[in-house]
Amino acid sequence: MRIAVTGATGLIGSALVRDLRADGHEVVRFVRRAASAADEARWDPAAGYVDPAGLAGCGAVVHLAGAGVGDHRWTDAYKREIRDSRVNGTAAMARAIAAMAEPPEVFVCGTAIGYYGDTGDRAVDESAPAGAGFLPEVCIAWEAAAAPAQDAGVRTVFARTGLVVAAEGGAWGKLFPIFKAGIGGRLGNGRQYWSHISMYDELAALRHVLDTPAMTGPVNLTAPEPLTNREVTAAMGRVLHRPAVFAVPAPAMRLVLGEFAQDVLGSQRVRPARLLESGFVFRYPGIDESIRAALAR
């Protein structure tokens, strides 16, 4: 199958491209600069431009582009970038898909479990409403921007991803060096839930969503059982054979991270009900095995 991917240089996107190509799929990578390779096509999310030639013949589009949530301090300007990079990009791609005489069969829009906001100790699945705050508001607008593709009859899936356990990037990529140095520990009181997923299962879940015609709408990409930050911290120390006794107090995190600290300290106990109901089997459902798999990649 010919598959278009945005965000193809990101943590998940680059791994997905390799995975798809290893199975013989033709992948078109959408880039924001001038296309310079045969497998590239240009798009400009801010201007709403998508090269139609890049989408021609595609059976699927996987849209993973967006500014990193934790890459910078949340100034007003960067919050606009977080929102606009997701909403404008999704709207541009959805409109381009809707305008096609022969659109793809499926549009997978990578969103986030930030949709649910802080759920505390309450477990939530795809039936739960949106939470309150900046990230839920972004996620609501992000998913709504896909409406043109949905209205055109294209099967549209919102892959709400949790924290991906990967050593090569993302939030977890920042944790590994700290814990390897023996200075890792819980964040705040450590009672907040972290809904994680191994990189292997993240890619397998995306492939499962692509290949399962009955799947549409929101799908949580998280391991079956969320764990608290304290439990994750203990697992990191256990697997890496390092002490994990240090703790970063909540006030210090707020001082360093600003508004973003409330999301790091917030609790998201998210379960992947729709994946499990569809028969998806996790290869690394537990945190210890997810960490070991990340180190082995």
**Domain contains 172:** no
In percent, how much of the chain has pLDDT > 70?
A: 95
**Domain contains 157:** yes
In percent, how much of the chain has pLDDT > 90?
A: 81
**Domain contains 175:** no
**Domain contains 115:** yes
pLDDT at 260: 59
In tens, the pLDDT along 90-117 reads 999 999 999 999 999 999 999 999 999 9
Domain tally for the chain? 1
Checking phi first, is residue 264 left (phi over 0); if not, alpha (psi -120 to 50) or beta? Answer: alpha
Q: Is the pLDDT of residue 125 over 90?
A: yes
**Domain contains 187:** no
pLDDT at 253: 55
pTM recorded for the entire structure? 0.94
Cross-strand pairs, 54: none
Full residue range of the structural domain in which residue 85 is found: 2-162+197-221+271-282
Nearest to 226 by CA among 267, 268, 195, 266: 195
Q: Residue written as tokens 């033709």?
A: 26
Strands (E) in the chain, as ranges, are: 2-6, 26-31, 40-44, 49-50, 60-63, 106-112, 123-124, 155-161, 163-165, 185-187, 193-194, 196-198, 217-221, 227-228, 246-248, 269-270
CATH number at residue 141: 3.40.50.720
Element (H, E) at 55: helix 52-55
**Domain contains 77:** yes
**Domain contains 19:** yes
CA 140/CA 114 separation, integer angstroms? 10
**Domain contains 183:** no
